[in-house]
Structure 1
């Protein structure tokens, strides 16, 4: 059991996060701290968001004289600034969407050049030749690639078993770590990792999202090995248990911590497999009676991934430009080459009060982490570079500074 931290600023940070979680269901993404602290917050009257914003402001001032090491103060300062923004928004304070994103994630965003999407469309068309509209051809491919819902759980368990062996050998894993899966429906997200501490995770899969076989390796690496689950295990073992970093027992939505976690998870497949994951996956799925073209999957998935930035464009259009949701649905259909149903599912996520800015974590997180991995020092392997993401409390500003120094 994790006890309440001795450092006052760490205790106050945990209390602030838990109290915000009282106001917004899902705001606390992960908690494996002292149960007594959680019970204390649960027994309190419903918090006042304006008071929480003042608490955050006071905590920012207290950090300088906290006595914590600089890396911990830097981490907490970035986190608390994001929490202050969330509390102010809950209290009714106005802010622009782009300023909100910068406060949450320490990144600046803007609309993409749609010409880049058009170039990707041409490359996809070369992989999927034939008559008819490109979106229709891609959707037909996705239909052929779609895994029956009853095979979703078995497929992910089979892939995770193989990935666990690879990750354990390359990055190391606690001997008693475990991941369980459950399949649900009617959720605004595709999959969700709930880390419960003690090196255990529950991964919930939204069957309504229509998961394709080609995307399952990304899902399994993102949520489990070496993505979210592996990162939580590494930080619990190293930072919390060995290092006493009590602030790491909580993960909070709409913070720099989330952008780093999602960026790390988005690059997980690259870190553990590199080339060859398509045929490897096809071999695994054959064992459960599923058939996929592994070579085509490995060529096509990176291209469709480059279209995902249109989701961030959609968030900007909705919340910064005031664009009509139906126009945004059409934008997503055109540039992501998806059905109207799929586009509306994305808009549902983007208009959820909690998740409206969260797509930035995937887009900008992947860009930042991908660039940082590519800019690793001569002689350093991808495994060594990626291990730092798992082990250390790195921030977007840390990676940006490294990239600036390397340029």
Structure 2
């Protein structure tokens, strides 16, 4: 048995199966830049969901044992196994099998988020209450304060350009990228997400920012790093250069959204924000560059940064609300109330967030749990910022799977 050839065979089968799944689920294939005839074949064949399950199980059975394989090959085989198992779970879901939130996240994303009761978040809300004293609910005060920090529509492109440029400069100090890599920035509306990277292959991305709701000044760095540098754009460029072109690993020419790859992608994209900017560096950059570009009052920056650090600690409320809402233990009205008074979202964003849960299910865990898993893994690899960048870069261009980040 030639393990290398067998894994390569399964990789090709996997790509074709993901393309075939895309015929049943329009959002399943997030990016593809492999052979065009494989896409045409998937369109022409129109495999049934039952066919897909049978073929995925056969591909899994054909994978060689990882025992005795070199580490890189073993990781590649493990990654293909996890991705195929996630595809099978998605087939079941499309066939009408309703998975519980934790089972869905385990089978699709290879991870399960911790559970917290509402009382867990109460002390954090109390801290925010103390930071922003006054009349009205904590949520009302948070959103009144944040209303001063909306980027005007006519300033949004300049602010986003500056934030992305800063992220790129910091990334290039640690990660070499192809000279031809580039992106197009677009502003869109009527979406359930705030930002998106559509990777097109050949080291090119289309980055979209949703303008349905106000874009606050802190989102410039968040979105710039997450969607572009050192986040999704860099991640996809590295996969294409190092794995698809460099090693001939065809499985990385396609990205199925509902798969363990998403936890790595979203987790590294979120961790890349704090890797690019320490709290002090970010405050200085926003106060000295972004606030003036947006025409906002720079004196508000320190207090807003403090507020955002506290709000970030509430992020797991998103997972707890989504889990209870999707499993029916919170009604729509109760979920909205949690989002406003626990997560401290404005009412309009809370409604948009429910749209996201409805559309994406357990995908929400990939952002905060993924970030924490990526951070813990990267920071175990060394004690310096340079070591963290090196481990981060290696993680983004490796076949490592989410559960493997725990060891």
TM-score, normalised with respect to structure 1: 0.91
> Is the counterpart of residue 143 in structure 1 residue 147 in structure 2?
yes
Report the alpha carbon displacement of residue 136 of structure 1 after superposing the two structures with TM: 1.1
Report the alpha carbon displacement of residue 23 of structure 1 after superposing the two structures with TM: 1.0
Residue 175 (structure 1) aligns with: 179
Structure 1 stretch displaced more, 268-277 or 199-208? 268-277
Provide the C-alpha distance between the structure 1 equivalents of 2:291 and 2:401, rounded to a whole number of angstroms. 40
> Is the counterpart of residue 61 in structure 1 residue 67 in structure 2?
no
Q: What SS does the corresponding residue of 1:381 show, helix, strand or coil?
A: helix
Provide the C-alpha distance between the structure 2 equivalents of 1:169 and 1:116, rounded to a whole number of angstroms. 40
Report the alpha carbon displacement of residue 258 of structure 1 after superposing the two structures with TM: 0.3
Provide the C-alpha distance between the structure 2 equivalents of 1:231 and 1:69, rounded to a whole number of angstroms. 20
Provide the C-alpha distance between the structure 2 equivalents of 1:63 and 1:120, rounded to a whole number of angstroms. 47
Contact 2:174 2:390 in 1 (8 A): no
Residue 356 (structure 1) aligns with: 361
Deviations along 1:34-92, whole A, 9 cap, x unmatched?
122112212333x3112212221111111126999211101100111000000111122
Deviations along 1:349-388, whole A, 9 cap, x unmatched?
1112xx1121011122122122223433446732122222
Residue 345 (structure 1) aligns with: 352
TM-score, normalised with respect to structure 2: 0.91
Provide the C-alpha distance between the structure 2 equivalents of 1:385 and 1:113, rounded to a whole number of angstroms. 34
Report the alpha carbon displacement of residue 114 of structure 1 after superposing the two structures with TM: 2.8
Question: Where does 1:6-405 land on structure 2 (aligned, <5 Å)?
Answer: 7-45=8-46, 47-64=47-64, 69-275=73-279, 276-286=281-291, 288-291=293-296, 292=298, 293-352=300-359, 355-378=360-383, 381-401=387-407
Contact 2:152 2:294 in 1 (8 A): no
The 1:290/1:34 distance shift into structure 2, 3 A limit, reads farther
The alignment's C-alpha RMSD in Å is 2.1
Contact 2:336 2:350 in 1 (8 A): yes
Report the alpha carbon displacement of residue 340 of structure 1 after superposing the two structures with TM: 2.4
Provide the C-alpha distance between the structure 1 equivalents of 2:231 and 2:307, rounded to a whole number of angstroms. 22
The 1:287/1:332 distance shift into structure 2, 3 A limit, reads closer
Contact 1:214 1:294 in 2 (8 A): no
Provide the C-alpha distance between the structure 2 equivalents of 1:289 and 1:221, rounded to a whole number of angstroms. 18
Provide the C-alpha distance between the structure 1 equivalents of 2:96 and 2:63, rounded to a whole number of angstroms. 26
Structure 1 stretch displaced more, 210-219 or 104-113? 104-113
Provide the C-alpha distance between the structure 2 equivalents of 1:170 and 1:228, rounded to a whole number of angstroms. 16
Contact 2:226 2:269 in 1 (8 A): yes
Provide the C-alpha distance between the structure 1 equivalents of 2:167 and 2:362, rounded to a whole number of angstroms. 31
Provide the C-alpha distance between the structure 1 equivalents of 2:260 and 2:208, rounded to a whole number of angstroms. 23
Provide the C-alpha distance between the structure 2 equivalents of 1:83 and 1:150, rounded to a whole number of angstroms. 43
Provide the C-alpha distance between the structure 1 equivalents of 2:341 and 2:134, rounded to a whole number of angstroms. 19
Provide the C-alpha distance between the structure 2 equivalents of 1:286 and 1:148, rounded to a whole number of angstroms. 11
Unaligned residue ranges in structure 2 (runs of 5+): 1-5
Contact 1:181 1:204 in 2 (8 A): yes
Report the alpha carbon displacement of residue 228 of structure 1 after superposing the two structures with TM: 0.5
Residue 3 (structure 2) aligns with: none
Q: What SS does the corresponding residue of 1:357 show, helix, strand or coil?
A: helix
Report the alpha carbon displacement of residue 111 of structure 1 after superposing the two structures with TM: 2.6
